[in-house]
Amino acid sequence: MKAVTAAVMRELEEAAMAAGRSAEELMERAGVGAARELRDWCEQRLTPAHRQRWVVLAGKGNNGGDAYVVADWLAAHTSQPVTVYAAAHPDTLTGAARHHARHLSPAVPVLVVDGALPAAALEAGGVIVDGLLGTGLAGAVREPFATFIRQINASGRPVVALDLSSGLDADTGEPLGGAVLADLTLTMGLPKAGCFTVAGARHTGALRVVDIGLPEAAVAAAPAVLQVVTAADIAPLLGRRPHAAHKHTFGQIVVAGGSTDYAGAPLLAGAAALRSGAGLVTLAVPATLRPWLRPRYDALMLRAIPDAGTGHLMPSPVWDDVVAGAQAVLFGPGCGRVLATGGALAVVLRTPHPLVVDADGLRLLAARPELLPRSVAEPAAAPPVTVLTPHPGEMRALLDGFGLGALATAARPEQALALARRTGAVIVLKGAQTVTAAPDGAWCVNSSGSSALATAGTGDVLAGLIGGLLAQGWTGWDAAHAAVFIHGLAAELAPTGRALVADDLLELIPGALRQLSPFA
């Protein structure tokens, strides 16, 4: 899905009105769609103690009009009381905002506020809905909005922003003298480019896109600042699976990794590959490690690779037999960085299977870039798909290893694209708003996820998801960006972000798939 500037978004809304939609109808669709998303997110994410009432803050423009629609819908469709705190009297509004303010249920109190929000608006149990300032903000935030923003951010209450966090520049993501720190942003029509800058991401929180009925032809012709992966992009990839199927229909993946120092990583990756829908998952682990392992799922198969008692993967004649029946290979989770393990990577890189390289496998590759056939002009010898999944530290090592060290301070998309072109691999540059880049120049930014993923082992889960999708016949590009989105959405479904561990994430993958597709 395209992320656009505020100016392009205004042009698309004008195109919708030229096609027959009124401003009032567009605002109605925006507000109702946002209210539904808001309710569902709060019921899923917040306990009843933290969602006892809706505190809707309405500004003076169209963002305020959206807020009135949201307030009206919440009053009609939820049991929690709704109060609107307005920056201007409803009678002073104009256009569609005035229309919807006048149609607000008389059961919803509207309190006009000038100066500061009253203490009642910030009490425990309230969910704050930010409809103060939208994409039309020009220049620094003025009073009383600057005060409102400071109060919201200091309140400790859950905050949901309508379209854009108040005070944020829609194009750059920079706070214009202060901006609301939202936990969820419900953006209207298309995502705004500012939500995907480093500064903007800090104020956006989770992101949902609300369909307001923009003309498809106009959207297709509109210029994009970047491509953003949303649920609407992933759902079509998760189509109906054949009913007359067996385990081999959905592919086998070999997960090669583990060492005496990091025994759990391949277990996490292998379990995630199973959760992706792969039919068979084999863990290839050092023989010394094999007796210690107790897989979480009995469905995981184990193969011991002779290791001369080192506890690390080594080159061995058994590799050909291990990977013979596989449709994909994942190398690296927990493998360590000893020299012999680099030799094992060299063997695996010569197999004719789609390949994911993760974790310490990336460090080994960075130290020996000549191992990757595509990096030495031997495209015919390269595996059909290679996906590299670095976090920022591993990315720096890869850039240095492949002669791209000058890009160490470049923007993340630039780094990912350069490495993709140099290696011929699909690059998944992990972190907040993960970047996926392909050798042909395509790239996108992920919109799912949360800080819950900032814990050990979640990267192993992501690598397993990617490998599992490759084993099912997905392209490298589709497997990579879809797995990243599913992984992030699973984290959003966690009952608590602070206490999530990677093992929990495995159990959340089915729920994420169910949200995305009826065929999950």
Residue labelled with tokens 């393990």: 341
Helix (H), strand (E) at residue 323: helix 319-323
Domain locations along the chain: 2-224, 253-516
pLDDT at res. 384 = 58
Residue 175 per-residue DSSP state: B
Mean pLDDT of 54-71: 97
Q: How wide is the angle at C-alpha 386 spanned by C-alphas 348 and 354, nearest 5°?
A: 65
Q: What is the pLDDT of residues 5-53, one digit of tens each?
A: 999 999 999 999 999 999 999 999 999 999 999 999 999 999 999 999 9
Q: At residue 475, what is the residue type?
A: T
191-212 per-position pLDDT tens digit: 999 999 988 999 999 999 999 9
How confident is the model at residue 479, as a pLDDT? Answer: 98
For residue 285, name the pLDDT band (cuts at 50, 70, 90). very high
Q: Which amino acid is at 452?
A: A
pLDDT digits (tens, 9 = 90+) for 360-372: 999 999 999 998 8
The pLDDT of residue 340 is above 90 = no
DSSP string, 94-153: -HHHHHHHHTS-TTS-EEE-SSS--GGGGSTTEEEEEES--TT--SS--TTHHHHHHHHH
Question: How much of the chain exceeds pLDDT 70, in percent?
Answer: 98
Is residue 520 within 8 A of residue 235, CB to CB? The reply is no
pLDDT higher than threshold 90 for residue 268: yes
Average pLDDT over residues 455-467: 98
Residue 237 has pLDDT above 80, yes or no: yes
Tell me the CATH class for 2-224.
alpha beta
Mean pLDDT value across residues 146-164: 98
Are 250 and 327 in contact by the 8 Å Cβ rule? The answer is: no
Beta-carbon count within 10 A of 220 CB? 8
What sign does the CA torsion over 168, 174, 179, 180 have? positive
Q: Give residue-wise pLDDT tens across range 297-328.
A: 999 999 999 999 999 999 999 999 999 999 99
* 248 phi/psi in degrees, rounded to 5: -75, -20
In the CATH scheme, what is the homologous superfamily, with its name and number, of domain 253-516? Ribokinase (3.40.1190.20)
